[in-house]
Amino acid sequence: MSTSNISRRNFLRTTGISGAALCLGFMFSSSTEDADVINTGAADPSEIELNAWIKIDASGKVTLVDHRAEMGQGSYQSVPQILAEELEVNLKDVNIIFAQGNKEKYGNQITGGSSTIRGSYKNLLKLGATARVMLTAAAAAKWKVPVTECYAEAGHIIHRPSSKRFHYGELVNDAAKLEAPKDIVLKPKSAYKLIRQPLHRQDTPLKTNGVAGFGLDKKLPGMLYATVERNPRLRGKVKSYDDSAALKVPGVKKVFKVQMGVFKTFREGVAIVADSTWAAMQGKKALKVDWDDTGFDHVNTADIYISLEEKLKVEEGLILKKQGDPETAISIAAKKLDIIYQTPYQSHSAMEPVNCVAHYQGDKVEIWGPIQAPEWVQEYIAGQLGWAKENVIVNMTFLGGGFGRKAFMDYPHEATMISKEMGAPVQVVWTREDDATQGPYRPGFSYRCQGAIENGNITALKFRMAGQNNDHWRDGPSNKANRSTSEGFLKPYYDSIKNISFAEVVFETPIPTMWWRSVYASTNGFAYESFLDEMAHAAGKDPLDLRRQYLTDQRSQKLIDKMEEVSGWKNKRNNEGYGTAITECFSSTVGQVVKVSKNADGRLKIDHVWAVMDCGWYVNPDIVKAQVEGAILMGLGAATIHEITFKDGLVEQRNFYDYKMPRITDMPPIDVFIMENDEDAGGVGEPGLPAFAPALTNAIFDLTGKRIRKLPFDLTKV
């Protein structure tokens, strides 16, 4: 589509359908949690903004406009699986197309926070059920029989007494004339046929046969290709450049300076535009640039962590949450702990390189690419160009991994400015070195954790975190504590521990940072769950028993029961180390148990990981398990293999040879268990990550007596 004003006519044309169709959409009130379903065929698109559309054509084919991105987390499967359940159609009869960026029509389109299912599943269920009810009513009217005598099955409405049936396609013309009913009764879980089933993902064949369209697959008539040599130091400038050799490379068209926005700052570089990506890359190698990076901090990793630790020693920080009087309780306690934990900067390193296609057309720009946050891209570029955001058209493609990196606005903005200069559509491709050295990164943190114990019980916990607050990049320095300082820490602890506080010790560097899978829980979880383990041993208690003591709600108790059962926690043998951690992330709780031992040569090995996921309502158990497994592997890499480090303002890692990934031989056996309950849906894509690192290091302590308080560490050297 080339316009963000999606009318019913444009929708039908885009989906390749003409003639009669039943089209349903959402009309939101002030809350996106509960939207009204409307028959868009009878609506004036100029008056009603629609969040999502479902259409059934005369052949019975169902098309859904998906407002979120698919980056491997499984929404391309889960969303239609929800829809098909209530609609009573075969999943193979559901077609998905990606929506354009349009916050007014589609609400929040940011694919992050593990929010796609938990934020929309109730509306999607209602949408599918509404279509089924309307089709049933249309069939009953045709037969002149009571609606109660009719039911839906496999894309048909069947009259129970006579066994007569209509295909959905035969009913759309009549159903399209009906008003969408307001009171819809959804199926009970016991009646599900598709939901909760481990159905094969629909995007798997597309991604293996080459049909799936990623950003790099987009081609436009007259499109040019660009790479950019960007300042290798943070916030540096271009002093001068020599493009004579670059312009001699066959296919290179033009070389010029370009800026890309990095939140409220800009990064400078030199663009090389050519008739192929290869030519642009060769031109980049031939380019000579003289950089000006005076006046900016040339940061070093060692200095960062020295500064963080010094600040934690003397600063109380900005309070996010506080109950009771932890300072007094700690000061008078007979037994107390005061410990520092450290986590590193990390790259997102998605397998698909960063890329974007932009076509600047004078009064508008159209963008295609792997984009997690189309509305942010619209707002940022429109602001930079002084346009209405409707003039920035964003088309989402499949993403080959994102983890938060592709919710950034820098690369679409850069592609837009290059296209503007060239007066033609341009595809900008980042190399792996660009991605590694330019960021943004998961920020590194240091934590000071203090606690008090009286008579074997925890009487106080005091946590302070020091590191970069991602929100400051967008909103500037703040006198408010990082809103995520307590992320990962389970809420039931507040009910059972009288004195608790969380504070942020503010720290700034010019290093660009961004959300990373599971965001702050990935670092908080290591510190807080490691500290609870240390508190358990100081109190003379089993670590899992201590968590059971203070996580008194029924949901947590059942989770701990399951962890004990599946891991054999109570039957630990000599020469085996068991560690545990329980973290909360995006409304889901995950408990993990890690078992370690040593080989005959004395080297440490991870024998097994048991993960218990409580995500409430869920769709596809295979997707849930795959996401937890992937999160654990990503957590393993971040804890034991790779980190981003800085020396004199330069990133020291450049590619996978020095920012190594876990290999298949590093993957431990993993068993994932899903709790069954009647709770609302929580996130799935990210919550499996935070608990792994502390569970692993706690297991190592159980086996060796050695505490690991700094990540990453080398498993082979423990």
More confident call, 476 vs 352: 352
Q: For residues 668 and 389, what is the distance between their CA atoms, to the nearest angstrom?
A: 47
Residues 287-300 have a mean pLDDT of 90
Banded model confidence at residue 480, pLDDT cuts 50, 70, 90: confident
Residues 419-424 have a mean pLDDT of 98
Banded model confidence at residue 472, pLDDT cuts 50, 70, 90: confident
b/e 670-700 (16+ beta carbons within 10 angstroms → b):
bebbbbeeeeebbbbbbbbbbbbbbbbbbbb
What percent of the chain shows pLDDT beyond 90? Answer: 78
What percent of the chain shows pLDDT beyond 70? Answer: 93
Q: Looking at mean pLDDT, say which of 124-133, 262-271, 676-685 comes out highest.
A: 676-685
Residue among 278, 276, 280, 275 nearest 258 (CA): 280
The type of residue at 29 is: S
Banded model confidence at residue 680, pLDDT cuts 50, 70, 90: very high
- pLDDT at residue 33, rounded to an integer: 54
CA distances from 285 to 228, 245, 257, 293, 576 (A): 10, 9, 16, 21, 53
Residues 236-264 have a mean pLDDT of 95
Q: For residues 541 and 544, what is the distance between their CA atoms, to the nearest angstrom?
A: 8
Q: For residues 173 and 166, what is the distance between their CA atoms, to the nearest angstrom?
A: 12
- pLDDT at residue 35, rounded to an integer: 66
- Alpha-carbon Rg for the chain in angstroms: 27
Q: Looking at mean pLDDT, say which of 46-55, 505-514, 602-611 comes out highest.
A: 602-611
Cβ neighbours for 361, distance < 8 A, ≥ 6 positions apart: none
Which range (222-226, 301-305, 598-602, 623-627) has the least confidence? Answer: 598-602
DSSP calls for 400-438: S--TTGGG-SHHHHHHHHHHHHHTS-EEEE--HHHHHHH
Banded model confidence at residue 41, pLDDT cuts 50, 70, 90: low
- pLDDT at residue 477, rounded to an integer: 65
Banded model confidence at residue 271, pLDDT cuts 50, 70, 90: very high
Q: For residues 155 and 61, what is the distance between their CA atoms, to the nearest angstrom?
A: 9
Q: For residues 369 and 573, what is the distance between their CA atoms, to the nearest angstrom?
A: 52
Residue 715 has pLDDT above 50, yes or no: yes
> Is pTM beyond 0.85 here?
yes
Q: For residues 639 and 343, what is the distance between their CA atoms, to the nearest angstrom?
A: 8
Residue 664 has pLDDT above 70, yes or no: yes
pLDDT tens track for 70-112? 999 998 999 889 989 999 999 887 888 888 898 877 778 889 9
Residue 47 has pLDDT above 50, yes or no: no
Residue 709 has pLDDT above 60, yes or no: yes
- pLDDT at residue 38, rounded to an integer: 61
- pLDDT at residue 212, rounded to an integer: 95
Report the SS3 class of residue 44: coil
Q: Is the peptide bond before 712 cis (omega within 30 degrees of 0)?
A: yes
What number of other Cβ atoms are within 10 A of residue 453's Cβ? 21
Lookup: tokens for 717: 């050297």
Q: For residues 216 and 481, what is the distance between their CA atoms, to the nearest angstrom?
A: 40
- pLDDT at residue 29, rounded to an integer: 46
- pLDDT at residue 53, rounded to an integer: 63
The type of residue at 2 is: S
Q: For residues 718 and 707, what is the distance between their CA atoms, to the nearest angstrom?
A: 10
Banded model confidence at residue 56, pLDDT cuts 50, 70, 90: confident
Q: For residues 595 and 417, what is the distance between their CA atoms, to the nearest angstrom?
A: 52
Mean residue pLDDT of the chain comes to 91
CA distances from 40 to 24, 27, 43 (A): 5, 10, 5
Q: For residues 575 and 99, what is the distance between their CA atoms, to the nearest angstrom?
A: 55
Residue 168 has pLDDT above 70, yes or no: yes
CA 605 to chain centre: 30
Banded model confidence at residue 39, pLDDT cuts 50, 70, 90: low
Lookup: tokens for 454: 């009286």
Banded model confidence at residue 321, pLDDT cuts 50, 70, 90: very high
Residue 19 has pLDDT above 70, yes or no: no
pLDDT tens track for 368-379? 999 999 999 999
What domains are defined for the chain? 8-209 (3.30.365.10), 215-295+354-429 (3.30.365.10), 315-345+442-717 (3.30.365.10)
Lookup: tokens for 664: 């298949």
Banded model confidence at residue 158, pLDDT cuts 50, 70, 90: very high
- pLDDT at residue 31, rounded to an integer: 45
Cβ(360)–Cβ(487) below 8 Å = no
Residues 140-147 have a mean pLDDT of 98
Cβ(291)–Cβ(236) below 8 Å = yes
More confident call, 20 vs 507: 507
Banded model confidence at residue 479, pLDDT cuts 50, 70, 90: confident
DSSP calls for 457-468: EEEEEEEEEEE-
Lookup: tokens for 512: 């660009």
Report the SS3 class of residue 24: strand
What number of other Cβ atoms are within 10 A of residue 497's Cβ? 19
Residue among 62, 74, 67, 161 nearest 626 (CA): 74
